[in-house]
Amino acid sequence: MAIPNKQDPIVLVIDFHHARGPEIEHCIANEGANPATDNDWSLLPFMALSDGAHLSTEEFSYFTLRGRETPDIPETSLFGIACSRQLDAKLLLNRPPDVTRSTVQKAVVVVTDSPQRVGQLREKLSVVTTAWFAQRGVAGISHMREFLFEMAQ
């Protein structure tokens, strides 16, 4: 029996926009791929930044997604974990004009094909998200790219 190709992990950043609600800000995946669009993950932002997430300093969400069939990978279930945090907008080093509320809310999401990996990712995801928010700019995604590279190893 052939072993199916493994799905590389995907890292996404979800932003809460005051007028549009939660939306995908960044998707870090294989070069040239946009799995959120390819798989119609239109509800992912709502699962990652769940209602009431703003009531906690750090909140985790767990969910499943459908991975559509590709020439290399059969249709499959994928597993997601999101770590959401918020930052007082006054603490931002460079406050963009579209930040009109008192806090900025974002979530970092990892999507993987291994449910066992989700449990292992929780602590790492917390560390990466905390470090990213500590920059007080919440714009650069170099931490996420490094995190993805580490996970893929």
Residue 25 included in any domain: no
Residue 29 included in any domain: no
Percent of the chain at pLDDT exceeding 90: 24
pTM beyond 0.85? no
Distance CA 135, CA 152 (A): 25
Q: Would the pLDDT of 148 be above 70?
A: no
Residue 138 included in any domain: yes
Residue 18 included in any domain: no
Residue 10 included in any domain: no
Q: Which residues pair with 77 in a beta bridge?
A: 66
Q: What is the DSSP letter of 50?
A: -
Instruction: Give 102's pLDDT tier (boundaries 50, 70, 90).
Output: low
Q: Would the pLDDT of 112 be above 80?
A: yes
pLDDT tens sequence across 47-95:
998 777 667 778 999 999 999 988 877 899 999 999 998 887 777 767 7
Q: Note the Cα 44 to chain centre separation in Å.
A: 9
Residue 53 included in any domain: yes
Instruction: Give 3's pLDDT tier (boundaries 50, 70, 90).
Output: very low
Instruction: Give 144's pLDDT tier (boundaries 50, 70, 90).
Output: low
- Which amino acid would we find at residue 54? H
Helix (H/G/I), strand (E/B), else coil: 98? coil
Residue 52 belongs to domain spanning: 34-152
Residue 3 included in any domain: no
Q: What is the β-pairing status of strands 21-28 and 76-88?
A: unpaired
pLDDT of residue 53: 64
| C-alpha separations of 130 from 12, 34, 85, 146 in Å | 15, 25, 8, 14
Residue 145 included in any domain: yes
**Count of domains forming the chain:** 1
Q: Nearest-CA neighbor of 36 among 138, 121, 117, 109? A: 109
* Cα radius of gyration (the chain): 16
Q: What is the DSSP letter of 55?
A: G
Token pair in block for residue 61? 């969400």
Q: Would the pLDDT of 128 be above 90?
A: no
